Structure 1
Amino acid sequence: MAPILADREHLMKVTVCLRPFRAAGPRLEVERFGAKTVVHNYGHGGSGWSLSWGCAEEASALARSGGGDEFAVIGAGVIGLTTALRLVESGTRVTIYANDFPAETRSARATGVWSPSSRVALADNTDAAFVERWKGWAERSYARHQQMVGLADDPVEYVTQYNLPGGSNPRTRPSRSYLALDRQLDVIGPRWTTLDGTNNPFGDEDVRSGPVMTFNVARYTDRLARQFLLRGGRMVRREFADRAEVLALPEAVIVNCMGYGARAMWGDDSLVPVRGQINWLLPQPEAHYALYYDAMSVISRPDGVIVQYLGPNDDWGHGIDNESVDWDETNLALSSLRRLFA
């Protein structure tokens, strides 16, 4: 197995993004402002890519329930793109308004793995009805993502992951009751196995291994944007100073897919940032696998090998809105990876 080359000279960039977390889960509902209808679709935590299609389907149904055929979508991240695409697929006229175009959004800086309940909500703030709603989002999304497997450029593929024991950064219990719902899904998916010491490439200890659905984010984003435009959608670069400017758009129905930006624009103080930092190593097509080791996630994608320190638990990054690079965090992740392959 080819080792991951984690020296600083292989580091091509470091990116930081803010996951939009709500303790009560994603906000997916209708709000009226006089003659305007706003459909909110934001607050997906670390599950935005995974839940995108299921939430887009529900949001587009809410938007079309009034009988209109012209819609505005605010935001060009994965939630905005999938929602706009679902709307335009129904034969309507759709314009995406966004200050950041798809490759510039926080979605473009995502880890890119199937993680439908990653920081999606807190158990203390949700009920059984939310869990059932989440299942619908996740199962519909999973089916749509699977349609992308095997297409040109592999926007979605299954990559073998190895979960390794050991390391110097043990996991601890978080202070919050984050929901962990993945095992409740009724989906057909590849199963994981345990590789004993003689059958795994990482030494003598047993390793859990199996395929993980991976989103090649750059390619997937480009595909979504191209499909939207080819179907007649429009994309306009626009920065809104306040909610009044959004409501002044000519479209009667507006779908708000602003992610963390919705906190200030729509006054949602329940929206909390969760900081995440990714270290991008040069692409290594010969090392096409993923691994988890020592509180660190590594995924080899066509657009680079992403290395992310995950912290001791899901509290890591909670409430931090600083998108500056933390070089100590970068050094911690890369040094841990180098030790693994030493």
Structure 2
Amino acid sequence: MQHAVRRRAFLAGTSAALLAGCTRAGMAIPAGQPQRRLMPLALDMAHLMKITVCLRPFRPAGPRLEVERFGDKTVVHNYGHGGAGWSLGWGCADEAAALARSGGGDDFAVIGAGVIGLTSALRLIESGARVTIYAEEFPAETRSARATGVWSPSSRIALADAAPAGFAERWESWARASHATHLRMVGLLGDPVEFLPQYEVAGGDDTDTPSPPATHDFLHIHRRVRDLTPPWRILDDRENPFAPRRTASGQGMVFNVASYADRLARLFMLRGGRMVRRTFPDRAEALALPEPVIVNCMGYGAKAIWGDPTVVPVRGQIGWLIPQPEARYTLYYGGVNAISRRDGVVIQYYGPNEDFGYGETSEAPDPAETERALAILRQAYPR
């Protein structure tokens, strides 16, 4: 997902010139013509199901996709996707499977049952391989299950001054390959992927409080694949359900993570895959697996087990409200996002800039953060 800072700039008018040719912002509502109505989301703690926290695995140089050898064992690393794991999973899995297959053989171990592990395992098994997933947490228990669930291929993907030469081109290939696979999931049973109307509403701390600059220069390359996203526009007052607040709207790709992860796990098992619950206290335990090739998809866990000091946790908290099928859209206002998914209304506060959550290791829920986020979002609706 594009970060709040860029949304603030867009809604404050920095991109207005680019949109001027296709909008009529600020038109008065003709006498007798009602403003467009939108079912408000029930944004209160009485609808709260749970609060979850995810430590996204960020690497300044971007995801690690490479081969490392330990004696007679070959390890293919596929981790460090920041906030873009669901978005980039298939493209990175294609590359990881090719690396794993390059040494020959048909038996592979995949460590990790999050989205990166599931997609990597599926790509391998589709090639005729025998694959076992080893994981301490099964799909519904992983950090991937606590994701926001939107198309966000460049979210916390790398730092501008640390990404290697050619990274943007490599990232673009992952994004385009993944997007093509996501599109094939649209309309399937359980709606693992769908498009929802999205509303980004100006106001709140977008304009009332200037955001301090971030101390980390995150790489923003989403524009390289903007042709994949349906165009957005500024709504005029006659069609703007949040008038008089300035509102941009468009259609956005949303992942219903519960059904998507379940579908991936079922496909893997139906195609002959095995899933074994196992804990890996250290690297030696991982290297003791019987398979000659191991695909490491441990996410944040790779920091300790595979000795990667560059992995940084980025904390993100989600408040889950009871599903609201009568109000199926996403709303961004005042640094807070609400995504009305089929498995619940996801509420997330993004903070004043992209430093928010950077380096934080606590996965303890903070109910006050969710309560504040709900209070902010309620202000977006006309009174």
Q: TM-score, normalised by structure 1?
A: 0.98
- Contact residue 57 and residue 312 of structure 2 kept, 8 A: yes
1:92 aligns with 2:141: no
Q: Distance in 2 between matches of 1:298 and 1:172?
A: 23
Pairing of 1:20-169 with structure 2 (within 5 A): 20-168=57-205
- 1:243-300 Cα shifts (integer Å, max 9, x gaps): 0011011000000000000001011110000000000111100000001100001100
> Residue 146 of structure 2 aligns to which amino acid in structure 1?
R
Counterpart in the other structure of 1:11: 48
- 1:191-212 Cα shifts (integer Å, max 9, x gaps): 1111022221112233110011
Q: Distance in 1 between matches of 2:350 and 2:243?
A: 24
The runs of 5 or more residues in structure 2 that have no matched partner are: 1-37
- Contact residue 14 and residue 279 of structure 1 kept, 8 A: yes
- Contact residue 198 and residue 204 of structure 1 kept, 8 A: no
Between 1:75-84 and 1:123-132, the stretch displaced more is 123-132
Counterpart in the other structure of 1:294: 334
RMSD: 1.1
Counterpart in the other structure of 1:329: 369
- Contact residue 139 and residue 187 of structure 1 kept, 8 A: no
- Contact residue 20 and residue 43 of structure 1 kept, 8 A: yes
Q: Distance in 2 between matches of 1:188 and 1:283?
A: 28
- Contact residue 62 and residue 157 of structure 2 kept, 8 A: yes
- Contact residue 61 and residue 164 of structure 2 kept, 8 A: no
Closer, same or farther in 2 for the Cα pair 1:158/1:172, shift >3 Å? farther
Q: Distance in 2 between matches of 1:292 and 1:222?
A: 28
Q: Distance in 1 between matches of 2:151 and 2:128?
A: 29
- Contact residue 159 and residue 290 of structure 1 kept, 8 A: yes
Q: Distance in 1 between matches of 2:80 and 2:239?
A: 42
Between 1:119-128 and 1:28-37, the stretch displaced more is 119-128
Counterpart in the other structure of 1:249: 289
- Contact residue 203 and residue 245 of structure 2 kept, 8 A: no
User: Which one of the candidate residues 198, 201, 216 is aligned to 2:238?
Assistant: 198
Q: Distance in 2 between matches of 1:17 and 1:206?
A: 32
1:230 aligns with 2:270: yes
Q: Distance in 2 between matches of 1:191 and 1:216?
A: 22
- Partner secondary structure for residue 172 of structure 2: helix
- Contact residue 109 and residue 294 of structure 2 kept, 8 A: yes
Pairing of 1:260-279 with structure 2 (within 5 A): 260-279=300-319
Q: State which structure, 1 or 2, has the greater radius of gyration over its C-alpha atoms.
A: 2
Using the TM superposition, give the Cα deviation of residue 187 of structure 1 relative to its aligned residue in structure 2, in angstroms: 4.2
Using the TM superposition, give the Cα deviation of residue 188 of structure 1 relative to its aligned residue in structure 2, in angstroms: 3.6
Counterpart in the other structure of 1:181: 221
Q: Distance in 1 between matches of 2:304 and 2:330?
A: 36
- Partner secondary structure for residue 254 of structure 1: strand
Q: Distance in 1 between matches of 2:54 and 2:44?
A: 23
> Residue 33 of structure 1 aligns to which amino acid in structure 2?
F
- Partner secondary structure for residue 212 of structure 1: strand
Q: Distance in 2 between matches of 1:187 and 1:301?
A: 24
- Contact residue 196 and residue 205 of structure 1 kept, 8 A: no
Q: Distance in 2 between matches of 1:30 and 1:186?
A: 31
> Residue 28 of structure 1 aligns to which amino acid in structure 2?
L
- Partner secondary structure for residue 205 of structure 2: coil
Q: Percent identity?
A: 65
- Contact residue 82 and residue 156 of structure 2 kept, 8 A: yes
Q: Distance in 2 between matches of 1:286 and 1:147?
A: 26
> Residue 369 of structure 2 aligns to which amino acid in structure 1?
E
- Partner secondary structure for residue 168 of structure 1: helix
- 1:15-48 Cα shifts (integer Å, max 9, x gaps): 0010000000000000000000000000000000
The runs of 5 or more residues in structure 1 that have no matched partner are: none
Q: Distance in 2 between matches of 1:194 and 1:242?
A: 52
Q: Distance in 1 between matches of 2:39 and 2:66?
A: 48
> Residue 143 of structure 2 aligns to which amino acid in structure 1?
R
Q: Distance in 2 between matches of 1:254 and 1:166?
A: 49
> Residue 107 of structure 2 aligns to which amino acid in structure 1?
E
Q: Distance in 2 between matches of 1:198 and 1:173?
A: 36
> Residue 316 of structure 2 aligns to which amino acid in structure 1?
G
- 1:106-128 Cα shifts (integer Å, max 9, x gaps): 00000000000000000100144
- Contact residue 64 and residue 79 of structure 2 kept, 8 A: yes
Q: Distance in 2 between matches of 1:206 and 1:165?
A: 5
How many residue pairs match? The answer is 342
Q: Distance in 2 between matches of 1:265 and 1:128?
A: 27
- Contact residue 54 and residue 137 of structure 1 kept, 8 A: yes
- 1:146-188 Cα shifts (integer Å, max 9, x gaps): 1101111110001110010000364443111101111112744
Q: Distance in 2 between matches of 1:188 and 1:18?
A: 28
